[in-house]
């Protein structure tokens, strides 16, 4: 019949629900049952039960089913549904075969079996009430709710206490452990490793404390991880919470899951643990909320009925859909457009799950609603800030009263055998969602470029600057929003600055480093934990009581501000190509060569008839000749002797080299004027300590650094000893001094940059030079209360921001490095654009003028001495000689 139907239906090689009732293979594994009797009973009952349900739930169709007692059924025979009651292993084997044949798979398995994948089938583990824990953890794992890579188990002897169930007890723990570490088909869910610690319940609380203390202090969290699963009775929970807290093992980086194993559900009131919670803890509870009553029906048959019912209803729905489709289209079209076998399978499974949810949550005739576990998660992060801080700021601190931290426990999910876990929130709310979007108070003060606080025209507050860049990023990472609390005087000073900014034309400009001391009021807010963090960058120098610094957010370096080096005088530029030594040598060689030439000419042997060489008869003449040659003026004569000519020839070569070098250098000096040496390092400054005075802002922390370094480094000692103190409130005066005196200002590079920028805006010219060397590094960090649990979290986030280069980018966006002045520092603009002019050769004219003056003096002198001689001759009565 089926083959014929297949043939008849044509396009799809499986029958439509209209043409044939679906067929189902029911496989019942013998090994699933405790004894043969049980098995036989089930076998005989199952057909009856199933037929009953089919008749009851299906009006227009039916299910044809075959019951098999062994698992080697040929599933190829056009089944649509596979229903199995089998052990876990067999079930998963059958799943493979069912998937090959695209069957809808409905399975009932023994406990501790992972549920079938969502789109492959519907499964249920047959739980024995009281032994559901392993299944819970298996479900938590497969659904990804609990994905700890390492688990520390701490369990007590709960299960041992009822003497009857000793075996079951040890069994439960080992089964839980197995559930957490068994390999799953979904490879994304990794195995977790675990360490086991067992303890015992003690009547005496202090003994119990000691025992737990010993166990917990033995846990090496660096190897074993920070995830703890505590499976104990309710009496022990508070003790463990206390001890763990005292050992500082509960913090934002650790997770504690308390599984309260007590059966008596009515007594479990987890709210009582609120008082043991603290800021920043990740604690969750799983507890038994089962209320067993006699009507609870948990047997196999109940589950079979329930599942059959869901199956029947979804099949009917499917059929109705197909019928509807069939009515609308022609027969041929219908064959093309109706669902394929895979799609129909998915459709049926989806609708079955829906039906099951409906049946199970209806709590009428449901088999599994009795067993019920609840999960609660503690909401602690930021709770103490969120509730109290805002309103308390305005009030004097005396009437704060006891801090009512807003910790709470929220229900995050449930577990029932049929549906498994149903989470409405993550088990550890804070691990997944950080601060869960709450609003935290932070504090700050105006301190550009780190924090720029402004009031807009409409009175709105605006916060920008590097620290707010960081805080914004942090708030995204940790999932919180923030509100800035400003102490009254800080707020007043910002308002004043808004109305009144004489030197600081705009508020984004930094003052000198020392102006940026954190106001005491802000420190107090941090210390008293009224704010989550102080969004500011402060120098990490000394420890302030009650306050810790975060990881550094920026590094400040100190630099030297001096006047821009001037170009050197041009008067002696014509002398510049040679050093004075070279000039000296040149003049000496002139004299020396002249003398040698004279000797050579004089003592060269020659025939007697030849006259003395004209023009070389005295040393004077020889020198004159050599001098002429140097200026490339040839003499009238040449010596006759070859030896002397050789000397002159050699000299001409020397002259060529000397002249070429001179003119080459001269051109170079004309185009690139020489500059005064800039102050580019501490060494430069100290080398010219006679010439310069230097200062740093009065009260600057550099004084501390230099003081500390002075013992090791004599340079810093000299720097410190020679330094004056600049009044930091008057930066314009400092700039004036730098411009007009030989005054060097030492401060943060960034402050100097801002000062330069200010001056550039004022004057339009760059008068300053900032040293290339940075000589002391100062870390800047935010502030947080000293015992804040969030410090590692924040440090981690800041470290990531450093690594990703975000902070560097923000920093360069916020600092005015790229203005005209800083560009000018790198290349000397004047030098590159220099045109040679008369001024460059002024020295020559001076020499000429001096020459003229001397000539005039000499001529006058000669004139007068001649005149006097004449006059003397006239007065002298000469004997008349005739």
Ligand X SMILES: *[C@@H]1O[C@H](CO)[C@@H](O)[C@H](O)[C@H]1NC(C)=O
Residues that bind ligand X (CB under 6 A): 20-21, 61-62, 129-130, 132-133, 261, 263-265, 269, 271-272, 288, 290, 292, 357, 419, 422, 424, 433-434, 436-437, 479, 496, 499-500, 502, 543, 548, 698-699, 725, 727, 786, 791
User: What is the DSSP pairing of strand 22-28 with strand 150-155?
Assistant: unpaired
- Give the nearer residue to ligand X in terms of CB position, either 322 or 684: 322
H helix and E strand count, the chain: 30, 24
Q: Whose CA is closest to 128, among 308, 298, 375, 360?
A: 298
Which residues does residue 65 pair with via DSSP β-bridges, in sequence order?
A: 24
| Bond before 46 cis per omega within 30 degrees | no
Measured distance CA(825)–CA(396) in Å, rounded: 53
> Shortest gap between Cβ of 5 and ligand X (angstroms)?
9
- Give the nearer residue to ligand X in terms of CB position, either 21 or 779: 21
- Give the nearer residue to ligand X in terms of CB position, either 309 or 814: 309
Query: How far is residue 599 CA from its own chain's centroid?
Result: 85
- Give the nearer residue to ligand X in terms of CB position, either 179 or 644: 179
> Shortest gap between Cβ of 234 and ligand X (angstroms)?
11
- Give the nearer residue to ligand X in terms of CB position, either 500 or 833: 500
- Give the nearer residue to ligand X in terms of CB position, either 156 or 840: 156
Taking the CB of residue 707, how many other CB atoms lie within 10 A of it?
12
> Shortest gap between Cβ of 196 and ligand X (angstroms)?
19
The residue behind tokens 């402050």 is: 751
Measured distance CA(801)–CA(795) in Å, rounded: 10
- Give the nearer residue to ligand X in terms of CB position, either 434 or 731: 434
- Give the nearer residue to ligand X in terms of CB position, either 214 or 543: 543
Taking the CB of residue 851, how many other CB atoms lie within 10 A of it?
10
Contacts of 412 (CB under 8 A, 6+ apart): 284, 375, 376, 377, 423, 424, 425, 426, 427, 429
Token pair of 714, please? 């004599």
> Shortest gap between Cβ of 20 and ligand X (angstroms)?
5
- Give the nearer residue to ligand X in terms of CB position, either 29 or 322: 322
> Shortest gap between Cβ of 369 and ligand X (angstroms)?
12
Measured distance CA(33)–CA(38) in Å, rounded: 6
> Shortest gap between Cβ of 428 and ligand X (angstroms)?
12
Taking the CB of residue 36, how many other CB atoms lie within 10 A of it?
9
Through-space distance between the first and last CA atoms of the chain, rounded to whole angstroms: 182
> Shortest gap between Cβ of 734 and ligand X (angstroms)?
12
The secondary structure of 35-65 as a DSSP string is: SHHHHHHHHHHHHHHHHHHHHHH-SS--EEE
Contacts of 458 (CB under 8 A, 6+ apart): none
* Contact present, 47 and 54 (Cβ < 8 Å): no
> Shortest gap between Cβ of 794 and ligand X (angstroms)?
11
* Contact present, 116 and 353 (Cβ < 8 Å): no
* Contact present, 691 and 742 (Cβ < 8 Å): yes
Measured distance CA(351)–CA(568) in Å, rounded: 93
Cβ-in-10-Å burial (0-12, 13-18, 19+) of 791 comes to: buried
> Shortest gap between Cβ of 821 and ligand X (angstroms)?
27
Contacts of 841 (CB under 8 A, 6+ apart): 573, 574
Helical H segments across 247-340, by residue range: 300-328, 331-337
> Shortest gap between Cβ of 357 and ligand X (angstroms)?
5
> Shortest gap between Cβ of 282 and ligand X (angstroms)?
14
| Angle between helical axes of 488-499 and 520-527 (0-180°, round to 10) | 140
> Shortest gap between Cβ of 769 and ligand X (angstroms)?
25
- Give the nearer residue to ligand X in terms of CB position, either 55 or 674: 55
| 3-class DSSP string for 152-190 | EEEECCHHHHCHHHHHHHHHHHHHHHHHHHCCCCCCCCC
- Give the nearer residue to ligand X in terms of CB position, either 58 or 325: 58
The residue behind tokens 């005075």 is: 693
Helical H segments across 434-481, by residue range: 466-477
3-state secondary structure of 122: strand
- Give the nearer residue to ligand X in terms of CB position, either 335 or 703: 703
Token pair of 230, please? 């505590």
Q: Which residue is nearest to ligand X (CB)?
A: 62
User: What is the DSSP pairing of strand 373-379 with strand 420-423?
Assistant: unpaired
> Shortest gap between Cβ of 228 and ligand X (angstroms)?
20
> Shortest gap between Cβ of 27 and ligand X (angstroms)?
21
> Shortest gap between Cβ of 230 and ligand X (angstroms)?
15
> Shortest gap between Cβ of 509 and ligand X (angstroms)?
16
Q: Whose CA is closest to 284, among 242, 255, 324, 248?
A: 255
- Give the nearer residue to ligand X in terms of CB position, either 546 or 843: 546
Token pair of 46, please? 């199952």
Taking the CB of residue 224, how many other CB atoms lie within 10 A of it?
17
CA-to-CA dists, residue 213 to 210, 473, 855, angstroms: 5, 39, 108
- Give the nearer residue to ligand X in terms of CB position, either 274 or 714: 274
The residue behind tokens 């197995």 is: 178
> Shortest gap between Cβ of 33 and ligand X (angstroms)?
23
> Shortest gap between Cβ of 376 and ligand X (angstroms)?
12
Helical H segments across 363-464, by residue range: 383-393, 429-433
Token pair of 42, please? 């089930």
Which residues does residue 554 pair with via DSSP β-bridges, in sequence order?
A: 780
- Give the nearer residue to ligand X in terms of CB position, either 278 or 613: 278
- Give the nearer residue to ligand X in terms of CB position, either 797 or 821: 797
- Give the nearer residue to ligand X in terms of CB position, either 262 or 521: 262
Which residues does residue 231 pair with via DSSP β-bridges, in sequence order?
A: 155, 259
- Give the nearer residue to ligand X in terms of CB position, either 259 or 593: 259
The residue behind tokens 């459709």 is: 347
């Amino acid at each position: 019949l089926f083959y014929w139907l297949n043939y008849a239906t044509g396009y799809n090689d499986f029958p439509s629900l209209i043409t044939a009732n679906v067929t189902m293979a029911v496989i019942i594994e013998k090994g699933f049952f405790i004894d043969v009797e049980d098995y036989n009973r089930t076998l005989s009952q199952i057909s009856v039960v199933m037929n009953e349900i089919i008749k009851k739930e299906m009006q227009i169709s039916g299910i044809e089913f075959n019951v098999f007692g062994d698992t080697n059924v040929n599933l190829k025979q056009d089944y649509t549904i596979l229903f199995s009651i089998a052990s876990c292993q067999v079930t998963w084997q059958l799943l493979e075969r069912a998937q090959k044949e695209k069957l809808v798979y409905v399975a009932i398995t023994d406990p501790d079996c992972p549920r079938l994948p969502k789109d492959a089938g519907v499964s249920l583990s047959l739980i024995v009430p009281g032994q559901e824990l392993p299944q819970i953890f298996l479900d938590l794992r497969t659904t990804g709710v609990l994905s700890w890579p390492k688990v520390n188990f701490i369990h007590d002897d709960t299960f041992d206490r009822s003497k009857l169930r000793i075996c079951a007890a040890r069994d439960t723990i080992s089964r839980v452990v197995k559930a957490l570490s068994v390999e799953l088909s979904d490879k994304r869910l990794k195995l977790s490793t675990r360490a086991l610690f067992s303890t015992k319940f003690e009547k005496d609380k202090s003994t119990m404390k000691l025992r737990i203390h010993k166990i917990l202090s033995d846990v090496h969290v660096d190897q074993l991880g920070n995830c703890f699963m505590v499976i104990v009775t309710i009496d022990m929970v508070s003790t463990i919470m206390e001890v763990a807290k005292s050992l500082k093992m509960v913090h934002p980086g650790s997770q504690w899951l308390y599984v309260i194993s007590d059966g008596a559900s009515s007594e479990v009131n987890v709210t009582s643990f609120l008082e043991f919670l603290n800021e920043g803890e990740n604690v969750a509870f799983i507890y038994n909320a089962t209320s067993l009553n006699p009507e609870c029906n948990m047997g196999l048959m109940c589950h079979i009925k329930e599942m059959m019912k869901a199956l029947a209803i979804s099949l009917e729905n499917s059929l109705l859909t197909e019928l509807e489709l069939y009515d609308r289209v022609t027969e041929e079209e219908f064959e093309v457009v109706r669902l394929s076998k895979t799609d129909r399978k998915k459709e049926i499974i989806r609708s079955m799950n829906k039906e099951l949810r409906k049946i199970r949550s209806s709590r009428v005739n449901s088999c599994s609603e009795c067993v019920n576990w609840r999960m609660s998660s503690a909401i602690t992060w930021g709770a103490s800030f969120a509730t109290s801080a805002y309103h308390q700021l305005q009030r004097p601190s005396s009437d704060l009263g006891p801090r009512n931290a807003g910790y709470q426990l929220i229900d995050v999910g449930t577990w029932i055998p049929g549906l498994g876990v149903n989470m409405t929130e993550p088990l550890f709310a804070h691990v997944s969602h950080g601060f869960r979007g709450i609003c935290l108070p932070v504090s700050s003060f105006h301190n550009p470029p780190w924090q720029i606080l402004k009031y807009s025209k409409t009175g709105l507050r605006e916060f920008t600057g590097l620290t707010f860049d960081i805080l914004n990023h942090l708030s995204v990472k940790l999932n919180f929003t923030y509100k800035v609390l400003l102490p009254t005087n800080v707020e007043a000073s910002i308002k004043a600055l808004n109305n009144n900014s004489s030197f600081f034309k705009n508020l984004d400009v930094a003052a000198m480093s020392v102006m940026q001391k954190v106001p005491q009021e802000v420190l107090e807010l941090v210390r008293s934990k009224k704010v989550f963090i102080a969004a500011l960058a402060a120098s990490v120098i000394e420890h302030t009581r009650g306050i810790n610094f975060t990881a550094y957010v920026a590094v400040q370096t100190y630099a030297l501000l001096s006047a821009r080096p001037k170009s050197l005088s041009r008067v002696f530029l014509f002398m510049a190509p040679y050093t004075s030594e070279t000039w000296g040598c040149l003049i000496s060689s002139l004299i020396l060569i002249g003398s040698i030439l004279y000797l050579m000419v004089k003592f060269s042997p020659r025939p007697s008839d030849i006259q003395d060489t004209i023009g070389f008869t005295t040393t004077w003449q020889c020198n004159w000749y050599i001098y002429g040659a140097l200026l490339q003026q040839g003499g009238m004569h040449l010596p006759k002797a070859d030896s002397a000519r050789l000397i002159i020839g050699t000299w001409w070569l020397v002259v060529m080299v000397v002249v070429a070098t001179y003119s080459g250098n001269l051109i170079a000096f004309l185009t690139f004027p020489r500059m005064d040496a800039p102050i580019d390092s501490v060494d430069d400054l100290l080398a010219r300590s006679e010439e310069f005075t230097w200062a740093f802002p009065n009260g600057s922390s550099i004084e501390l650094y230099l003081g500390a370094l002075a013992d090791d480094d004599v340079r810093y000692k000299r720097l410190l000893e020679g330094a004056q103190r600049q009044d930091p409130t008057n930066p314009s005066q400092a700039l004036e001094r730098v411009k007009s005196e030989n005054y060097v200002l030492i401060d943060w590079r960034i402050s100097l940059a801002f000062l330069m920028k200010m001056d550039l805006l004022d004057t339009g010219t760059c008068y300053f030079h900032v040293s290339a060397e940075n000589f002391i590094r100062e870390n800047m960090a935010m502030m947080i209360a000293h015992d804040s649990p969030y410090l590692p979290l924040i440090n981690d986030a800041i470290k990531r921001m450093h690594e990703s280069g975000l902070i560097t980018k923000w920093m360069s966006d916020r600092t005015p490095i790229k203005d005209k002045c800083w560009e000018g520092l790198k290349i000397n603009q004047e030098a590159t654009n220099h045109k040679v002019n008369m001024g460059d050769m002024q020295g020559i004219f001076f020499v000429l003028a001096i020459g003229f003056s001397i000539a005039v003096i000499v001529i006058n002198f000669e004139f007068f001495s001649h005149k006097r001689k004449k006059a003397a001759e006239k007065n002298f009565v000469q004997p008349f000689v005739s």
